[in-house]
């Protein structure tokens, strides 16, 4: 493994911006990871583990440490459920345990599962990035969430150099959250994830666009995946293919509890009128991600919580045409900030995001949270 100096990070991110890493290496296995961390320890420098580069914003100054690009590969069936036996022995549902290296492109994993007739991640189609990030962010979309199918996560401990295995229950999954981006942030490299998928048809069509697409129909896995891809392409500029770089959703959908939501309703009524309040009531929604998020909120009742589309709040405040330098709000999906000119800086992006956050807070009382990780700031 080679450790290089002053490598520009922009080409390794879907935003297509960001300064250089002081040191940079590619890790394909445990030995590479060990060598990388020993190097960082000797130099007394920070490390950052880079996956697909799709959910990060890198500073214009870059990263003053060692960036470790994880590129391990491999997708394989760990075991059948139940093994070598007729379906549903002992009442257990027939399925498969799929072991995936963290460096695999996530959408390739979804395609592999769908092609083999395995249910559980089809609604997570066309999401950019590597597989490791799926566990870090507990990625969710269209009514599915990664934590619902993650069986275990194998990691490399940066400090002890031990390989550890986290059960799903040990991962602290919440809305866009896990121990890997909160309490244990920066401590591990994710090597592998085991997913528990089903061989039984389980269409998850609760999301509005999907429900409308398949009225009175029983879609196949392939049809659901294709529908998700088409829906996402209309709303999101897919970072890997997009002319304008972006990091996917820049803002999280706020989850509001009881009085918080009532305050939002009053603010919308006062500032925008009854028609917009009615629109808010139609657009709010509840799903399984809320129930997961509530687990980490003390004394909150899941039945009193709602998730409000951040895109609706941004559009409501008249911010769809907002720009800052080379950065702009995406017209079709205002959750996304794009590198519109191809020459935007990280400063442009943060300035724009800050304006959105400030104006939404002023008009609605809701504080939007950023989804991408900020690197080198």
CATH number at 142 reads 3.30.465.10
Structure tokens, 265: 């309703």
How long, in residues, is the chain?
377
Residue 176's region, left for phi above 0, alpha for psi from -120 to 50, else beta, is left
**What is the pLDDT averaged over residues 4-27?**
96
pTM of the entire predicted model: 0.84
**What is the pLDDT averaged over residues 10-17?**
94
In this predicted structure, what is the pLDDT of residue 350? Answer: 97
What are the distances in angstroms from CA 142 to CA 122, 201, 288? 10, 17, 10
Q: Indicate the SS3 state at residue 5.
A: strand
Q: pLDDT tens for residues 284-339?
A: 876 444 444 444 444 555 557 888 999 999 999 999 999 999 999 998 889 999 99
User: Is 371 one of the catalytic residues?
Assistant: yes
pLDDT tier for residue 265 given thresholds of 50, 70 and 90:
very high
Placement of tokens 């300035």 in the chain: 351
Clarify whether residues 113 and 177 are in a common domain.
yes
| Residue that finishes a domain, picked among 235, 270, 304 | 235
Full DSSP string of 268-317: HHHHH-HHHHHHHHHH-B--HHHHHHHTTSTT--GGGEEE--HHHHHHHT
Q: pLDDT tens for residues 117-162?
A: 999 999 999 998 899 999 999 999 898 999 999 999 999 998 888 9
Clarify whether residues 38 and 62 are in a common domain.
yes
Choose the catalytic residue: 102, 152, 176, 178: 176
How many domains is the chain partitioned into structurally? Answer: 3
Lowest pLDDT segment from 17-21, 230-234, 250-254, 356-360: 230-234
What are the distances in angstroms from CA 140 to CA 127, 300, 304? 10, 21, 21
pLDDT tier for residue 237 given thresholds of 50, 70 and 90:
low
Clarify whether residues 117 and 217 are in a common domain.
yes
Q: How far apart are CA 163 and CA 176, in angstroms?
A: 24
Q: Among 108, 165, 161, which Cα is nearest to 134's?
A: 108
Clarify whether residues 214 and 135 are in a common domain.
yes
The strand pairing partners of 76, in sequence order, are 99
User: Is 249 one of the catalytic residues?
Assistant: yes
Clarify whether residues 147 and 291 are in a common domain.
no
Choose the catalytic residue: 54, 152, 249, 305: 249
Choose the catalytic residue: 104, 122, 260, 371: 371
Q: pLDDT tens for residues 68-119?
A: 999 999 999 988 877 654 544 445 678 999 999 999 999 999 999 999 999 9
- Domain of residue 23 covers 3-70
Contact 193, 149 (CB under 8 A): no
**What is the pLDDT averaged over residues 252-277?**
94
In this predicted structure, what is the pLDDT of residue 233? Answer: 86
User: Is 373 one of the catalytic residues?
Assistant: no
Q: How far apart are CA 294 and CA 135, in angstroms?
A: 18
Share of the chain above pLDDT 90, in %: 70
């Amino acid at each position: 493994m080679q450790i290089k100096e002053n490598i520009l990070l922009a080409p390794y991110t879907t935003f297509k911006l960001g300064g250089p890493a002081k040191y940079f290496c590619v890790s394909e296995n445990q030995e590479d990871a060990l060598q990388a961390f020993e190097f960082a320890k000797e130099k007394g420098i920070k490390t950052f583990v880079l996956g697909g580069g799709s959910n990060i914003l890198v500073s214009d100054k870059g990263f003053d440490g060692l960036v470790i690009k994880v590129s391990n590969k491999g997708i394989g069936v760990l075991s059948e459920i139940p093994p070598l036996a007729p379906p549903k022995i002992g009442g257990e549902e027939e399925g498969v345990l799929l072991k995936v290296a963290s460096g695999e492109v996530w959408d390739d994993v979804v395609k592999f599962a769908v092609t083999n007739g395995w249910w559980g991640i089809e609604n997570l189609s066309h999401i950019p990035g590597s597989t490791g990030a799926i566990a870090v962010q507990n990625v969710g979309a269209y009514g599915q969430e990664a934590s619902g199918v993650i069986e275990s996560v194998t990691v490399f401990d940066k400090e002890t150099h031990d390989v550890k295995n986290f059960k799903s229950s040990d991962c602290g999954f919440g809305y866009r959250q896990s121990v890997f981006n909160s309490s244990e942030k920066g401590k591990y490299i994710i090597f592998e994830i085991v997913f528990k998928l089903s061989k039984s048809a389980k269409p998850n069509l609760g999301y509005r666009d999907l429900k409308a697409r398949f009225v009175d129909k029983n879609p196949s896995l392939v049809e659901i995946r294709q529908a998700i891809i088409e829906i996402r392409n209309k709303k999101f500029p897919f970072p890997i293919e997009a002319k304008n770089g972006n990091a996917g959703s820049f803002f999280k959908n706020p989850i509001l509890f009881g009085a918080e939501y009532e305050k939002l309703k009053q603010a919308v009524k006062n500032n925008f009128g009854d028609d917009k309040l009615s629109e808010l009531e139609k657009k709010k929604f509840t799903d399984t991600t809320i129930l997961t998020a509530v687990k980490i909120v003390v004394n909150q009742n899941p039945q009193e919580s709602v998730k409000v589309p951040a895109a609706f709040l941004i559009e409501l405040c008249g911010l769809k045409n907002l720009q800052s330098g080379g950065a702009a709000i995406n017209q079709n999906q205002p959750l996304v900030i794009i590198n519109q000119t191809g020459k935007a800086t990280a400063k442009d992006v943060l300035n724009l995001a800050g304006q959105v956050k400030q104006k939404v807070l002023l008009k609605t009382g809701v504080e939007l949270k950023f989804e991408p990780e900020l690197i080198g700031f």
